[in-house]
Amino acid sequence: IDVTSINVSAESATAYSCGAPTPALPISSWKSGEIKAITWTCSGGGIVSGEKSKVLVTIRYNSVASGSTYGKDVKGEVFSNVI
């Protein structure tokens, strides 16, 4: 797949402010079964260093064969310790 965007949001009324992810987008030719580490730095939204926080994630992608005209969204969440 080709990943064209990654958006993060919070469950709280206060929005996160996040920098660009690493690696930079778009991410091309992400193969089935391949694991990629994607990191970003965020603040706001009730994030407190040393505590756990939930981030809602939406990834926009398309298959390499179909191209960006046939984009799809997948949504999930990450629950982790805040560094």
Determine if the pTM surpasses 0.75: yes
- Per-residue pLDDT for the chain (83 aa), expressed as one digit of tens each? 999 999 988 887 788 888 888 999 999 999 999 999 998 888 887 788 888 888 899 999 999 888 888 999 999 998 988 87
Residue reference for tokens 């046939």: 70
For residue 21, the 8-state DSSP code is: -
The terminus-to-terminus CA distance of the chain in angstroms comes to 30
Neighbours of 82 (CB within 10 A): 13
Q: How far apart are CA 19 and CA 58, in angstroms?
A: 15
